[in-house]
Structure 1
C-alpha cells in the first residue's frame, strides 16, 4: 500500500459525513427561515406570503433534496463499487453540499435581518462553518478540476493501430 492510498481511502467516508452535516445545517436554516417569515409582518402582510420568499423557500427545498440524493448516490457507489470508481460523485458532493448550505443559510440570515448575524440566532456561526467546509479537503476549484478531468476522459479516444495512417516519405527516399 502506498502512502497516499490509505489516506485517500479514508477521505471518501469523511467527505460523506461532512456533506450530511451540510444537509442538516441547510435543513435547520430553512426551518429558521420559514418560522421567521411566518412570524414577521411587513406592509401589513406576513412576510412568508411575499413571492420572493416563497421562491427562495421552494428553491431551498429543491437544493437540499438534490444534494441529499447526490450524497446518497455517492455513498451507495462507495459501498458497492469502491471509492476509486465513486471519485467523481465524491468530488461532486464536496462542491454541491457546502455551497448549497451556504446559499440557504445566507437566505435565512437575510430573512432575519440584523438578527441573522448576531448571537441571538446560530445562523452566522452556521454560515462560517459551511464556508470553512468549502476549503476542507481542498477548495471547490480543486474538486471541480478533478470532476472536469474525469468527464473529459470519458470522451477521449485512443487511436488503435488500425486508425494510424502511414504518411509516405516524398523527399530524399
Structure 2
C-alpha cells in the first residue's frame, strides 16, 4: 500500500514528460510543414495539404485532452493527500490513474507517429529525435501493464457507478 501511494505521482510525472515530448514532436512537424523546401503534390508547403492540416489539428487536440486528463488525476490525488488519515485512494481516483496509464501513452504514440509521417523518411532516421520518441512512447504503453488491464479497471468503475445509480433509482434500467 505504501509503495502504491508513491507510484501515483510517478505515473503523473511519466505522462507529463511524454506530453512534453509530444509537444516537441508537434513543433517539429509544424516547422517541417511550413518549410518552403518541403512542398508536395504541387503545393508550396506541406502545410497547404488538407491531410497535414488535419494531422496537426488532431495532434493539438489530443495533447490538450491528455494534459487535462493528467491534471484532473493530479488534482484528485492532491485532494486525497490533503485529507488527513486516509491511506487509500477512492475508486474514482483509481479510475483516473488507470485512465492516464492507458490513454496518455496511446494518444502520444499516435501523435508522434503522425508527426513522424509528416517528416517522411527523415522521421525514421536515427539522427532525428522522432524515432526515439516513438520508441519511448511505445515502451511507456507497456511499462505499467498493458492498456487492456487499465481499460478493464475503468470499465469496472463505470459499471459500479451504473449499479449505484440504478440502486438509487430503485431499479435497473430496462432500456436506454
TM-score past 0.5 threshold: yes
- 1:59 counterpart residue number: 58
- For residues 145 and 126 of structure 2, what CA distance do their matches in structure 1 show? 29
State whether residues 26 and 100 of structure 1, in contact with CA within 8 Å, keep that contact through their aligned partners in structure 2: no
Match of 2:89 among 81, 84, 95: 84
- For residues 103 and 24 of structure 2, what CA distance do their matches in structure 1 show? 17
- 2:107 counterpart residue number: 100
- 2:122 counterpart residue number: 115
- 2:74 counterpart residue number: 75
Rg bigger for which structure? 1
- For residues 45 and 129 of structure 2, what CA distance do their matches in structure 1 show? 23
Gapped regions of structure 2 (runs ≥ 5)? 82-87, 172-176
More helix by share: 2
Secondary structure class of the residue paired with 1:119:
coil
- 2:25 counterpart residue number: 29
- For residues 100 and 52 of structure 1, what CA distance do their matches in structure 2 show? 18
State whether residues 26 and 101 of structure 1, in contact with CA within 8 Å, keep that contact through their aligned partners in structure 2: yes
- For residues 55 and 144 of structure 2, what CA distance do their matches in structure 1 show? 29
State whether residues 98 and 154 of structure 2, in contact with CA within 8 Å, keep that contact through their aligned partners in structure 1: yes
- For residues 25 and 96 of structure 1, what CA distance do their matches in structure 2 show? 16
Over the aligned positions, Cα root-mean-square deviation in angstroms equals 1.7
- For residues 61 and 108 of structure 1, what CA distance do their matches in structure 2 show? 11
**TM, length-normalised to structure 1:** 0.85
State whether residues 112 and 133 of structure 2, in contact with CA within 8 Å, keep that contact through their aligned partners in structure 1: yes
Deviates more, 1:76-85 or 1:27-36: 76-85
- 1:41 counterpart residue number: 39
Output one character per residue of 1:142-173: Cα deviation in whole Å (capped at 9) or x when no partner. Answer: 100111111111122598xxx9xxxxxxxxxx
